[in-house]
Amino acid sequence: MRLSGLTLAAVLAFACTPALADNPVTTTASTQASSADIDRLLQVMDMQTMMAGMMKQMSDAQRTMVVDSFGKDASDDQRTRMQAVLDKTNTIVQQELSWRTLEPVMRKVYAQVFSKAEVTAMITFYSSPEGASILKKSPQIMGLTMHEMQPLMVSTMEKVKAAITEEIAAPKK
C-alpha cells in the first residue's frame, strides 16, 4: 500500500510539472488584482465550502480505491485495520489541508495568475445564478470524475507498480 501511495504521488507530480512549465504567470503589477479583489472572489465562489466538498470527494474516492484494491480478500481483522488507517490518514489530510492552510495558497495563486479584469469578470459571473449553480455543482463534478477515473487509476497504478518492481528486480548494469 505504501508503494502505491508513493507511486501515485510521483505520477501526479510528474504529470503536473509540464503543465506548470507551459503556463507562465503573466500578470504585472499594473494589472494585478488587489487583496480585496481576491477576497471578494473567494467569498463569491464560497471557496472554503467548495474545497471542503472536494476534500470529502477525494477522501471517499481514496477509501473506495483502497477497499477495492486491498479489501477484496481481506479478513475482518485486516478490514478493521484498513479502516483505522484510512481514518487516521483522512484526519491527517483534513488537518494539513484545512482551509486555514489552503486559503493563503489560494489567495497567492489567484493573485499571481489572474489579472484584475479576470478576477472582476469571475466575480460578476459567479455572482450570477448560473455561476452560483456551476459552483454548487463543482464537488459533484469532482466526485463523478474521480469515480469515472478510478478504473483508469487502478490500471495505471498496477502498470507503474509493475514497472518499478521490474526495474528493482533487474540486474544492475
Asked whether residue 22 carries a pLDDT value surpassing 70, the answer given is: no
- The arithmetic mean of pLDDT across residues 15-37, rounded, is 66
- Nearest in space to 114 (alpha carbons), one of 126, 105, 122: 122
Residue 157 has a pLDDT of 86
- The answer to whether residues 55 and 94 touch, using CB atoms and an 8 Å cutoff, is yes
Query: Residue 41 belongs to what H/E stretch?
Result: helix 35-44
Query: How many Cβ atoms from other residues are within 10 Å of residue 90's Cβ?
Result: 17
Span 94-121, pLDDT tens digits = 888 888 998 999 999 999 999 999 999 9
Asked whether residue 43 carries a pLDDT value surpassing 60, the answer given is: yes
Q: Check residues 130 and 138 and name the one with the higher pLDDT.
A: 130
- Nearest in space to 167 (alpha carbons), one of 3, 17, 2: 3
Q: Check residues 155 and 70 and name the one with the higher pLDDT.
A: 155
- Nearest in space to 8 (alpha carbons), one of 163, 154, 169, 167: 154
- Any idea where the domains of the chain sit in the sequence? 32-146
